[in-house]
């Protein structure tokens, strides 16, 4: 793309009013921060689907990020790797009024009519944080470097924890068409806003990629699975491509950790009733009057009373979601669009939860029926021991990367259900420097494809910066056309069940067939 730095799009129009942006660090990119895409979800709009933003007069200066969604205050625990890594500002403002988005555009023009002709591809980013915490103004999410590749980057905010995913019978009765999943509805509403408005920022509303990492990636799966995002008449959807980073999970073994994405409305409504009782309120009207900060403290205390993994999240509500999102994808009933997906090599390993040899045998019998003996023999061979000996060695032999397992199983299900949309699978595994010796921990790849390593405290080497440049290039190409390959780049081939081509981001980018380990293959081929 050829830039003329003397005419960059700094002033444009949204459906609600004029907005003014500022030059990014690279003045050839304009950043618009804190654009409202919906009405503040406060008062009687708490626990309701997002509503249209109000119009304004004059020009709105979009120079600063808006406050983040209500959550536990970040940046308070230096022992936590994420507070060290990027949640470094313990004074970042929180507010229930949080439905704003940010745009980075390389549009080289000074009028709206010219901007509309550019039709640049658009990337809409959903941050992660377990649907409990996180925010688009985290420093690693700077969209400037991606925008320099000729795409418009949008980062959006959405409601979290109980503010975004509470269920209660009164809420369902009040609005049965949108009884919960308010955070996902915020994501959807923001993406719809982008589709309607992004042309005035140089973008193409008919070429949108949604992407996210961790719970953001899980949110992408929810959007892929939602029937609300599909135009039945045209078989097209709200977006044209999707990127799922460390956000796709399948239960490799019973009773092992995974996000609660299979909960149904009725059971979470009961949790909501318990929460209202915990807050000492008797009605939805009373609950809406609790000040946001006090309500957030109740959310924290209630979670602690229930146990470490009690979280509010995605619900099968019969409206936004009809089934577990991953199941919908595997059954071929989600939106059929090109998907890029992958994981870091040191995150989310699954192994049987069995505490004794007998429990491990029972697990094998439950999972594989009359094929259980073959699984037992496989573990004995891989673990170098027998069922008469070390349980630890056998469980270790059974370990699989839970995200890789889900990706490979999805490829098999796509083949079984004749879904032709391509999958592009990656693994991220360079050496990560630092005194904490963290390995390729969950989320560390965020520094790379946003190409924001310079903001990090870690002592990166030249090879890391080269890898980040290459990853940013692949992501930008995928956003442009649903295929990550570009001129002069090592070819990244599609991932299929028959030919599992995998892009490995190590010291360099290298694509090749990576067969699953014996245990993972057995799980995929034989699990009930």
Q: What residues are annotated to the active site? A: 214
**Helix extents (H) in 62-132:** 81-85, 112-118
Helix axes 357-368, 372-383, angle to 10 degrees: 130
Residue 123 φ then ψ, to 5° = -120, 120
CA distance 155 to 176: 29
Report the residue count for the chain.
528
Q: Is 445 helix (H, G, I), strand (E, B) or coil?
A: coil
CA distance 494 to 488: 18
| Under 8 Å between Cβ of 495 and 421 | no
Q: Which residue has the tokens 């199983």?
A: 409
**Buried residues in 72-106 as b, exposed as e (16+ CB within 10 A):** bbbbeeeeebbbbbbbbeeebebebbbbbbbbbbb
Q: Which helix (H) or strand (E) holds 325?
A: helix 325-330
- 11: Cβ contacts below 8 Å, ≥ 6 apart: 18, 19, 20, 21, 59
CA distance 349 to 402: 5
């Amino acid at each position: 793309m050829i830039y003329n730095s003397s005419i960059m799009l700094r002033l444009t129009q949204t459906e609600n009013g004029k907005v003014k942006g500022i030059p990014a660090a690279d003045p050839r990119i304009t950043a618009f921060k804190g654009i409202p895409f919906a009405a503040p979800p406060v008062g009687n709009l708490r626990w309701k689907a997002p509503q249209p933003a109000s119009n304004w007069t004059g020009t709105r200066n979009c120079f600063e990020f808006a406050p983040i969604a209500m959550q536990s205050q970040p940046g308070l625990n230096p022992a936590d790797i994420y507070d060290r890594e990027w949640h470094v500002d313990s004074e970042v403002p929180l507010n229930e009024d949080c439905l704003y988005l940010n745009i980075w555009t390389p549009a080289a023009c000074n009028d709206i009519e010219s901007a509309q002709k550019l039709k640049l591809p658009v990337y809409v980013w959903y941050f992660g944080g377990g649907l409990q915490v996180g925010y688009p103004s985290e420093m690693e999410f700077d969209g400037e470097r991606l925008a320099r590749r000729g795409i418009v980057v949008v980062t959006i905010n959405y409601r979290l924890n109980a503010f975004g995913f509470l269920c209660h019978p009164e809420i369902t009765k009040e609005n049965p068409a949108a009884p919960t999943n308010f955070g996902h509805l915020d994501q959807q509403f923001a993406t719809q806003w982008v589709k309607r408005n992004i042309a005035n920022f140089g973008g193409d509303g008919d070429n949108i990629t949604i992407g996210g990492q961790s719970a953001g990636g899980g949110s992408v799966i929810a959007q892929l699975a939602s029937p609300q995002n599909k135009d039945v008449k045209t078989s097209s959807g709200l977006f044209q491509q999707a990127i799922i980073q460390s956000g796709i999970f399948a239960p490799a073994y019973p009773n092992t950790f995974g996000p609660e994405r299979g909960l149904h409305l009725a059971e979470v409504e009961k949790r909501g009733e318990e929460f209202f009782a915990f807050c000492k309120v008797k009605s939805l009207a009373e609950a809406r009057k609790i000040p946001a900060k006090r309500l957030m403290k109740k959310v924290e205390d209630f979670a602690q009373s229930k146990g470490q993994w009690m979280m509010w999240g995605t619900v099968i509500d019969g409206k936004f979601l009809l089934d577990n999102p991953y199941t919908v994808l595997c059954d071929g009933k989600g939106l059929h669009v090109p998907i890029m997906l992958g994981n870091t090599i040191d995150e989310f390993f699954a192994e049987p939860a069995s505490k004794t040899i007998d429990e491990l045998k029972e697990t094998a019998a439950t999972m594989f029926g009359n094929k259980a003996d073959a699984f037992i023999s496989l573990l004995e061979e891989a673990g170098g021991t027998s069922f008469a000996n070390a349980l630890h060695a056998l469980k270790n032999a059974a370990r699989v990367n839970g995200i890789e397992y889900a990706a490979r199983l999805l490829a098999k299900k796509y083949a079984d259900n004749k879904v032709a949309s391509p999958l592009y699978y990656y693994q991220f595994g360079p050496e990560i420097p630092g005194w904490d010796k963290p390995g390729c921990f969950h989320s560390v790849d965020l520094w790379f494809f946003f190409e924001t390593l310079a903001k990090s405290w870690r002592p990166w080497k030249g090879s890391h910066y080269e890898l980040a440049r290459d990853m940013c290039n692949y992501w930008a190409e995928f956003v442009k056309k649903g295929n990550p390959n570009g001129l002069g780049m090592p070819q990244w081939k599609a991932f299929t069940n028959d030919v599992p081509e995998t892009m490995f981001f190590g010291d360099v980018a290298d694509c090749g067939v990576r067969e699953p380990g014996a245990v993972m293959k057995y799980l995929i081929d034989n699990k009930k």
